[in-house]
Amino acid sequence: MTIPDGCFTESERHGLYRAIYERRDVRSQFLPDPVPADVLVRLLQAAHHAPSVGFMQPWDFIVIESREVRASILALFEQANQTAAERFDGERKGLYRSLKLQGIVESPLNLCITCDRSRGGPHVLGRNSIVETDLFSTCLAVQNLWLAARAEGIGVGWVSILEQAQLSKVLNLPDHVYPVAYLCLGYVSEFLDQPELEAKGWRSRLPLSELVHGNHWGEALINEPLETALNEQPISGKNA
């Protein structure tokens, strides 16, 4: 097969898949070293090049370095985390309580990626039927940043155990701006080779073959080559 101009070389492809499979949610391994401004700008540019509905680019990036602001966010986390722990019983509750689920003050930098739901006016191309597409677009910006950070050797941890209204208040967000992702960023001592929740026995990766259906939800595949290829896949793409 001839490769058209613009295709990735094998090593470029390898680099991309490496970022995907070796990206981790980091909370325990942060180092205090600051993230240099030029590196942070590269991460923000990666986020800013995400796809967005109607090219809306609904994101803003709030760079949080203040110890006081982070202490306020940590207090919100502790409150929400206490409530979350009450939802589990017995052993599961004990396991939940033992998990480290944020690195708000250990990481040198926090970043809130928001979605301005009014950007581009009331009629955004592509957002008439599915109004949440602006929020989905913002999640894609988060993922771009997360992958670029992995390639730069920077860990990112997403903290969602926060009451949205309280978070918005601490960050002074106007009503039309939604805080999609509260992130902790910094260089790390290591990237774990599996999700921390998996390593701690909370939950494992599901086999991809159980998640691919034929034509309708829950129906078996009729595409045999695809089914065979799926069954030959190791659970983690990293080992492929």
Ligand X SMILES: Cc1cc2c(cc1C)N(C[C@H](O)[C@H](O)[C@H](O)COP(=O)(O)O)c1[nH]c(=O)[nH]c(=O)c1N2
Interacting residues toward ligand X by CB under 6 A = 24-25, 27, 101-102, 157-161, 195, 197
Whichever of 56 and 158 has its CB closer to ligand X, that residue is 158
- C-beta of 143: minimal distance to ligand X in Å? 8
Angle CA(54)–CA(55)–CA(56) in degrees, nearest 5?
A: 85
Whichever of 120 and 196 has its CB closer to ligand X, that residue is 196
Q: Which is nearest to 152 in space by CA: 5, 43, 225, 33? A: 43
**Residue nearest ligand X, CB atom distance:** 195
Tokens read off for 236: 């983690």
Query: What gap in Å lies between CA 64 and CA 10, rounded to an integer?
Result: 38
Whichever of 140 and 221 has its CB closer to ligand X, that residue is 140
**Sign of the Cα pseudo-torsion (132, 133, 134, 139, in order):** positive
What is 58-83 written as a DSSP string?
-EEEEEE--HHHHHHHHHHHHHHHHH
Whichever of 25 and 106 has its CB closer to ligand X, that residue is 25
- C-beta of 136: minimal distance to ligand X in Å? 12
- C-beta of 22: minimal distance to ligand X in Å? 9
- C-beta of 182: minimal distance to ligand X in Å? 8
